[in-house]
């Protein structure tokens, strides 16, 4: 166990060279989908130890630039990879056998430093895995390390006082997003086969969009969050916090469907996907698509406003039926979501900061939808206000359920912008987003996260286009419990040419590497 620097080459002597199994330092194989890697492992064209070796080599080459992987345990990963190799030889492979992964640093991993980016947890080493992590491990995943997060996962950029800032693999002057930013950068560059992320205010969807990969915000309560920070340790309960979910990040839509059954199911033991409804359709013909884009309350940058209708156009050309929709009143969904979101975030803040926010609530009027007012009101959530918000949330859920009798999915923006330049100013209210030349509040990142989150709906962020060298994607929202429908539509788009593209930096870094 160690914080990330460069991996010790002696730790895994004999396992490091990708050239040993016919790939140039793993350059091609490490950007394959997890399902394709699993097939090669099962056919014994590649061994788990060779995959681990290539992954360590990739981390050594790329991570000093991206700072996405912040802790490694190569020794225990090597032991796990050997066990996977033996299981494959005996014909006893589990669903994720031998796939080498990193885990978002907000999840507990037994024996590995787990900080949530927070200085108070700098040296914390849990004795047990988070429930979702344990499920991945028992399914055969080889857990290699941890990926970077903002402190307490409470930002849309990945930067914290312990490990510093992560950078975007498509443009290192920009952020990979947050809070699953290190995870998204690791997936995009092949430093992990897939990742376990978490999402409260878009923390899976936004980094996936910013890095050009796939991210699934699961139906609320489908995947247990026990062993995740937030909430802070002293506030942990068996019940998942409102709105917050865990879900996978991957390089293909099919990988989401591979991993989700392993994670799904409440309680300590997995139900092996028993709670998952089958997809409504697996092909575009006859698919009913709602298109939700133009919202004056939540404007988006031109690259995003172009990507969403492009996804709809491709589906329609393949036989889908597309119609404009406005499932709910956007402002109300945003208010409900923001109050609950800020209440959860405030619970993890230092007491002085929380007290200051609560004092500010005295001047915040009901109906004030400014970010400052919503943050203050959420931080001062009373039992009475909570019950009012929950009642409004239930009405919102009923409106969505009614819409899903008419359409199968809704396409909308995953975030207001593409990947943004680094901005770590201490006051988030002083930061701004550039949307078509207009400065908008930084916390507008919450806007397009709110519709799905406020109604506990599953949503996939999927890549669509590359504009100005940066990915732009679409959010696919499905009915509650129909995560596989959202994944199926993302798969349709992938089949129609909207897919993950490896960042150019991989080729550039490999070219610049001295010959061994």
Active site residues: 104, 179, 203
For residue 40 the two structure tokens come to: 């090669």
> Apex CA 341: angle with CA 135 and CA 352, to 5°?
105
φ, ψ for residue 339, nearest 5 deg: -60, -45
Structure-token pair, residue 428 = 């988030």
Beta bridge partners of 107: 228
Q: Which two tokens stand for residue 471?
A: 């990915």
What the block records as the tokens of 496 is: 């129609």
- SS3 of residue 283 by DSSP: coil
Going 422 to 307 to 315 to 322, the CA torsion angle's sign is positive
User: Residue 323 is encoded by which pair of tokens?
Assistant: 């119609």
Give the residue from 154, 235, 217 showing the smallest Cα distance to 453.
Answer: 217
Reported as type and span, the H/E element at residue 2 is strand 2-3
**Residue 194 and residue 439 in contact, taking contact as beta carbons nearer than 8 Å:** no
Q: Which residues pair with 475 in a beta bridge?
A: 412, 461
Both ends of the chain: CA-CA distance in Å?
28
What Å distances lie between residue 12 and 9, 49, 52, 82, 123, CA to CA?
A: 6, 10, 9, 12, 25
Q: Exposed/middle/buried for 510, CB within 10 Å: 0-12, 13-18, 19+?
A: middle
Q: How many CA atoms lie within 13 A of 243 on its CB side?
A: 30
Q: Report the SS3 class of residue 177.
A: coil
Q: Give the residue among 466, 437, 500, 417 at the shortest CA–CA distance from 174.
A: 417
Burial class (CB within 10 angstroms; exposed 0-12, middle 13-18, buried 19+) of 59: buried
Q: Which of 460, 493, 482 lies closest to 279 in space, CA to CA?
A: 482
Q: Which helix (H) or strand (E) holds 475?
A: strand 470-478
Measured in degrees and rounded to the nearest 5, phi and psi for residue 476 equal -110, 110
């Amino acid at each position: 166990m160690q914080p990330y620097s460069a991996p010790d080459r002696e730790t895994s002597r004999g396992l490091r060279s990708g050239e040993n199994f016919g790939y140039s330092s793993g350059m091609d194989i490490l950007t394959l989908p997890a399902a394709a890697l699993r097939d090669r492992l099962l056919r014994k064209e590649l061994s788990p130890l060779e995959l681990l070796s290539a992954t360590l080599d990739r981390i050594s080459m790329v991570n000093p630039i991206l700072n996405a992987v912040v802790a490694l345990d190569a020794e225990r990963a090597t032991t796990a990879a050997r066990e996977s190799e033996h299981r494959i030889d005996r014909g006893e492979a589990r669903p994720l056998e031998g796939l080498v992964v990193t885990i978002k640093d907000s999840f507990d991993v037994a024996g590995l430093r787990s900080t949530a980016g927070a200085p108070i947890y700098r040296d914390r080493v849990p004795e047990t895995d988070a429930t979702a992590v344990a499920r991945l491990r028992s399914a055969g995943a080889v857990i290699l390390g941890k990926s970077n997060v903002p402190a307490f996962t409470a930002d849309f950029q990945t930067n914290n006082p312990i490990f510093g800032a992560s950078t975007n693999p498509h443009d290192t002057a920009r952020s990979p997003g947050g809070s699953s930013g290190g995870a998204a950068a690791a997936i995009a560059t092949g430093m992990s086969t897939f990742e376990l992320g978490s999402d409260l205010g878009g923390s899976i969807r936004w980094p996936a969009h910013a890095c050009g990969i796939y991210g699934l915000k699961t139906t609320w309560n489908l995947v247990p969050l026990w062993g995740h920070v937030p909430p802070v340790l002293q506030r942990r309960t068996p019940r998942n916090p409102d709105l917050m979910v865990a879900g996978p990040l991957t390089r293909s839509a099919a990988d989401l469907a591979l991993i989700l059954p392993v994670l799904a199911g409440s309680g300590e033991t997995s139900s092996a996907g028993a709670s998952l409804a089958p997809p409504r359709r697996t092909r575009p013909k006859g698919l009913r698509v709602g298109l939700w884009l133009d919202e004056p309350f939540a404007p988006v940058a031109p690259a995003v406003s172009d990507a969403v209708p492009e996804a709809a156009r491709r589906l329609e050309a393949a036989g889908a039926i597309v119609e404009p929709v406005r499932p709910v009143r956007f402002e109300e969904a945003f208010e409900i979501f923001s109050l609950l979101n800020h209440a959860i975030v405030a619970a993890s803040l230092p007491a002085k900061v929380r007290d200051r926010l609560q004092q500010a609530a005295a001047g915040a009027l009901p109906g004030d939808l400014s970010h400052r007012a919503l943050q203050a009101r959420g931080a001062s959530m009373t039992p009475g206000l909570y019950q009012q918000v929950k009642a409004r949330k239930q009405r919102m859920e009923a409106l969505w359920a009614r819409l899903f009798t008419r359409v199968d999915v809704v396409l909308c923006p995953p975030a207001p912008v593409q990947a943004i330049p680094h901005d770590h100013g201490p006051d988030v209210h002083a930061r701004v987003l550039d949307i078509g030349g207009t400065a908008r509040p930084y916390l507008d990142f919450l806007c397009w996260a709110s519709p799905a989150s406020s109604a506990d709906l599953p949503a996939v962020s999927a890549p669509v286009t590359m504009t100005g060298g940066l990915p732009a994607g679409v959010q696919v929202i499905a009915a509650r419990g129909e995560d596989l429908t959202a994944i199926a539509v993302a798969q349709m788009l992938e089949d129609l040419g909207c897919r993950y593209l490896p960042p150019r930096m991989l080729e550039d870094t490999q070219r610049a590497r001295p010959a061994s």
